[in-house]
Amino acid sequence: MAKLAFLGLGVMGYPMAGHLQAAGHDVTVYNRTSAKAEAWVAEHGGAIAATPRAASEGASMVMACVGNDDDLRSVCLGEDGAFAGMAEGALFVDHTTVSAQVTAELYQGAADLGLGFVDAPISGGQAGAENAMLSVMCGGDKTAYDTAAPIIDVYARICRRIGDSGAGQKTKMCNQIAIAGVVQGLSEALHFAEQAGLDGRAVVEVISEGAAGSWQMSNRYETMLDDHFDHGFAVDWMRKDLGICLDTADEVGASLPLTALVDQFYKDVQKLGGGRWDTSALIKRLRALS
């Protein structure tokens, strides 16, 4: 079993780190809010470190699942950052959804120190993390990926290397682009059913068995119909991710008209006070317009 560090114990990182400890690995955790780390150790065992550097000392692999580009830089770099505590040959695995630019920066910074770096963003939401059913899309050197994959498999339903460094983050962008359009379409369908006086549950029971079926439909239609959004992936985080998608699209010359439109719809949801609502809250915007 491996000596590991896990940095960031949010709704995703907390159960992911727990799966690693349960699998027999020796896990040291770091979280910006120490109370969360204390709760994790009380539940799972393992150890707490006061800084990312301290957590990473002696670890063969360090995982991070934090908020954004700046959060990732803060746990990697500087005197108290993970890179400063990692021994040559150790591997850093980033599960955060961040820009391709910061991934390139940190990949090179790790390489300069003799460290491996794999960008490995995740999809599957809180339920996927809790049930060890995440989809993990990876970019980086093949040797680094081959080392990371057996450990990532502890909480993954599928883990795949897509290409060189940055390919994982760009694949996650594809994931978010696809989700945005699907959630908007589902919101419009359910809103139409409501306005037309149809039984939304009966409608979904039928159409979900045909070409309209999707993960979003199967897992979100009931909460959408019940006007319940206090769960899942927050609108604020989705807007962060879509901003990364749109910026990268400009760089690579891709056209994302639907993504840009749905991003503005999410901005409207934020104005309704729904920044922490689940992404399926797009239907709230349609109801507010009726």
Helix or strand or coil: residue 4?
strand
Q: What is the distance between the alpha carbons of residues 215 and 127, in angstroms, rounded to a whole number?
A: 13
Q: What is the distance between the alpha carbons of residues 118 and 141, in angstroms, rounded to a whole number?
A: 7
**How does 85-107 read in b/e, with b if 16+ C-beta sit within 10 Å?**
bbeeebbbbbbbbbbbebbebbb
Bridge partners of residue 29, in order along the sequence: 6, 48
Task: Give, as one character, the DSSP assignment of residue 227.
Answer: T
Q: What is the distance between the alpha carbons of residues 172 and 27, in angstroms, rounded to a whole number?
A: 26
Spot the catalytic one: 3, 36, 172, 284. Answer: 172
Please name the residues in contact with 178: beta carbons below 8 A apart, sequence gap of 6 or more.
Answer: none
Helix or strand or coil: residue 204?
helix
| Crossing angle of helices 13-22 and 34-44, rounded to 10° | 30
> Is position 172 annotated as part of the catalytic site?
yes
Active site residues: 172
